[in-house]
């Protein structure tokens, strides 16, 4: 009974914090959009505004990121794009480049490990997976900071700082004098390299609702560099790419977080006129350390512990992500030990996975076009939130599981290595569709807290990706290739039911979610007040017009 009472109290505390979190964020949103809150509002997170003018977006304000013109994302017609279209396109390109930078760094040593361990006389099989595992430990911790902090302080400077330090730590990997130093640098690379995974969803949500593309070319780089010009060049090439990514981020990436942009506008007004009492709602927020710790930094953890949508999505994505990293240990076992291929050729066999990712992107755009047309036709099924993106994961899940069974049962000496390598196509399609479907669903369900929801997902899946690859060698030794991949395929097939459960009962699950309920209530209240506010302004404008027209 005492335990149940303690759990109940903890649940009530978490629910209260979540409700205050959602309420506060929507109050700032209302102030930013010139919506007058009701008298007696329950939210007390914004300081007293007596004798202070709260600045907000004007109608069709050009500095509001939502009003930046959409582009067709075609580089061929760059000269025809407006300045705001170029800005949106540049943000899209830079964020995608940042995610590729981060993802490439995570698996970079996959084909180089035998050469670096040989140089430093590392013989333990457990230690040989540490170059990837230490990076992923940083991936566990980093998003818990970067996601919520980007929702509190903005995106631009956090992106610059984290990418700059990621570049420095990548340099450290290239010149590491010994094994322990190398592992420390890899951990720091993971901690700071995880920032784009957590921040990008927020950046793109700031300007439009879109997806985050991920890519992976590192096994090819590592496979050939390690056998030709040395394993350190694997990291020198990664450093070059990091610098190429960093330069435009420093000079071209604009701030997209609306509260920060309004704060800057207010600061410029006060600078021009020191007597002006003009502020943005974001400036009047309580930013003491207690608020940051209890409300901001705990947000991803609260979501994992209390939100069924987040916890089940995290579990599914964690397994898929861990299997992705297991593949970096499994490919050498299959294609080098079984088929006797070189590390460089083995690296090339990751190309079918990349081909599958490209096919998945085509599927994504095709589905997006179909969904848009269906919404225009007002078809009933489009009104259900789960049908926006979850069907992609429902397709990808079985494909991913089938690809593992295919690889496991076709990897035999009497079967040409091209046959198991083609399983990578289904692997890439399934992996990408699962992630695009589930992560977009998180963004749709948690809206203004999308960065925190994705940070929760990133940290949890990285945690499992640290642990499972440690058992790769022993698992393949005991169960064999077919047994190991059948086990992974069976687990994947079991959890592939998660998207189908969301399609079936997603609305009911969201209805029982404290976070979703709070968000929905505050959003509906804000929309109601926005409508009333618009009606009041329309009536006032009509009265004023009638007075001007009257003789």
Per residue in 229-241, pLDDT (tens digit) is 455 777 888 888 8
Tally DSSP H helices, then E strands, for the chain: 22, 2
Confidence band, pLDDT 50/70/90 cuts, at residue 215: very low
Please give the average per-residue pLDDT across 231-255, as a whole number.
Answer: 83
Check residue 479 and give its pLDDT: 92
Is 466 part of a structural domain of the chain? yes
Q: How far is CA 499 from CA 65, 306, 312, 391, 502, in A?
A: 32, 19, 10, 7, 5
What pLDDT shows up at residue 538? Answer: 63
Final residue before a domain boundary, out of 297, 325, 360 = 297
Determine whether 263 is exposed, middle or buried from the number of CB atoms within 10 Å of its CB (0-12, 13-18, 19+).
Answer: buried
Label residue 44 by pLDDT band (50, 70, 90): very low
Give the single-character DSSP code of 297.
I
Residues 291 and 387 in one domain: no
**Has residue 549 been placed in a domain?**
no
The pair of structure tokens assigned to 375 is 């919404």
* Residue 33 included in any domain: no
Burial of 280 (0-12, 13-18, 19+ CB in 10 A): buried
Residue 181 sits in the same domain as residue 267: yes
Residues 260 and 307 in one domain: no
The pTM of the whole model exceeds 0.75: no
Residue by residue, DSSP assigns 421-456 as HTHHHHHHHHHHHHHHHHHHHHHHHHGGGHHHHHHH
207 and 305 together in one domain: no
Given a cut of 70, is residue 75 above it in pLDDT?
no
Q: Is 548 within a domain?
A: no
Q: Is residue 370 part of a domain?
A: yes
Structural domain total, the chain? 2
Query: Final residue of a domain: which of 243, 276, 297?
Result: 297
Least confident of 67-81, 188-202, 311-325: 67-81
Per-residue pLDDT of 121-156, as tens digits, reads 888 877 887 888 888 888 888 887 887 788 777 888
Do 125 and 233 share a domain, yes or no?
Answer: yes
Residues 150 and 94 reside in one and the same domain: yes
Instruction: Give percent above pLDDT 90 in the chain.
Output: 19
Per-residue model confidence (pLDDT) at position 169: 92
Mean pLDDT of 197-201: 76
Same-domain status, 402 and 259: no
On whether both 494 and 355 belong to a single domain, the answer is yes
Look at residue 39 in the predicted model and tell me its pLDDT. 41
Give yes or no for residue 486 having a pLDDT over 80: yes
412 has a pLDDT exceeding 70: yes
pLDDT value at residue 393 = 94
Q: For residues 159 and 66, state if they share a domain.
A: yes
The last residue of one of the domains, among 264, 279, 297, is 297
Instruction: Tell me the average pLDDT across 64-92.
Output: 61
Whether residues 293 and 305 share a domain: the answer is: no
Q: Is residue 453 part of a domain?
A: yes
Higher-confidence residue of 475 and 28: namely 475
Angle, vertex CA 538, rays to CA 534 and CA 540, nearest 5: 115
Same domain, 269 and 333: no
337 and 468 inside one domain:
yes
- Tell me the CATH number at 444: 1.20.1250.20
Q: Is residue 535 part of a domain?
A: no
- Cα(173)–Cα(105) distance, integer angstroms: 11
pLDDT band at 495 (very low <50, low <70, confident <90, very high): very high
Q: Under DSSP, is residue 55 helix (H, G, I), strand (E, B) or coil?
A: strand
Reported as a pLDDT band with limits 50, 70 and 90, residue 165 is very high
Domain span at 276: 53-297
Mean pLDDT for 292-320 is 80
> Which pLDDT score is estimated for 74?
45
> Could you tell me if residue 271 is inside a domain?
yes
Query: What does the mean pLDDT of the chain come to?
Result: 76
Task: Detail the DSSP E strand segments found in 182-315.
Answer: 278-280
């Amino acid at each position: 009974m005492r335990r149940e009472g303690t759990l109940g109290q903890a649940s009530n505390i978490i629910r209260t914090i979540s409700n205050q979190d959602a309420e506060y964020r929507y109050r700032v949103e209302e102030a930013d959009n010139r919506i007058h809150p009701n008298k007696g509002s329950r939210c007390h997170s914004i300081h007293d505004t007596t004798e202070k003018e709260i600045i907000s977006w004007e109608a069709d304000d050009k500095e509001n990121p939502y009003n930046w013109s959409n582009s067709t994302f075609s580089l061929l017609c760059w000269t025809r794009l407006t300045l705001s279209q170029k800005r949106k396109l540049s943000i899209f390109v830079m964020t995608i480049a940042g995610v590729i930078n981060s993802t490439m760094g995570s698996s970079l040593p996959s084909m180089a490990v035998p050469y670096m361990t040989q140089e430093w006389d590392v013989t333990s099989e457990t230690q040989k997976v540490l170059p990837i595992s230490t990076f992923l430990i940083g991936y566990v911790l980093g998003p818990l900071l970067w996601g919520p902090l980007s929702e509190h302080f903005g995106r631009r400077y956090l992106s610059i700082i984290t990418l700059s330090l990621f570049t420095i730590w990548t340099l450290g990997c290239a010149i590491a004098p010994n094994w322990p130093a190398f592992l420390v640098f890899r951990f720091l690379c993971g901690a700071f390299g995880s920032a784009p995974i957590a921040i990008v969803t927020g950046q793109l949500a700031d300007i439009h609702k879109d997806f985050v593309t991920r890519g992976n070319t590192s096994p090819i780089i590592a496979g050939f560099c390690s056998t030709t010009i040395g394993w350190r060049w694997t990291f020198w090439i990664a450093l070059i790419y990091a610098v190429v990514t960093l330069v435009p981020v420093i000079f071209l990436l604009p701030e997209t977080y609306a509260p920060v942009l309004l704060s800057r506008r207010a600061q410029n007004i006060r600078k021009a006129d020191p007597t002006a009492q003009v502020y943005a709602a974001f400036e009047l927020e309580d930013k003491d350390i207690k608020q940051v710790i209890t409300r901001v930094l705990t947000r991803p953890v609260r979501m994992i512990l209390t939100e069924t949508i987040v916890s089940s999505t995290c579990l599914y994505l964690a397994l898929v992500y861990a299997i992705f990293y297991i593949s970096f240990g499994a490919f050498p076992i299959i294609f080098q030990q079984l088929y006797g291929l070189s590390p460089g050729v083995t690296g090339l066999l990751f190309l079918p996975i990349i081909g599958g990712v490209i096919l998945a992107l085509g599927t994504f755009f095709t589905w997006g076009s179909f969904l848009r047309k269906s919404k225009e036709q007002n078809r009933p099924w489009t009104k259900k939130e789960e049908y926006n993106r979850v069907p992609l994961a429902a397709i990808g899940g079985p494909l991913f599981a089938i690809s593992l069974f295919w690889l496991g049962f076709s990897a035999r000496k009497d079967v040409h290595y091209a046959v198991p390598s083609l399983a990578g196509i289904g692997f890439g399609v399934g992996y990408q569709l699962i992630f695009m479907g589930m992560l977009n669903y998180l963004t749709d369900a948690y809206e203004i807290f999308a960065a925190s929801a994705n940070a929760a997902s990133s940290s949890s899946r990285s945690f499992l990706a640290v642990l499972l690859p440690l058992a790769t060698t022993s698992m393949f030794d005991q169960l064999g290739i077919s047994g190991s991949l059948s086990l992974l395929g069976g687990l994947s097939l079991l959890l592939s039911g998660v998207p189908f459960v969301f399609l079936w009962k997603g609305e009911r699950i969201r209805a029982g979610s404290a976070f979703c309920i709070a968000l929905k209530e505050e959003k509906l209240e804000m929309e109601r007040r926005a409508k009333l506010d618009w009606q009041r302004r329309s009536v006032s404008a009509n009265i004023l017009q009638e007075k001007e027209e009257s003789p």
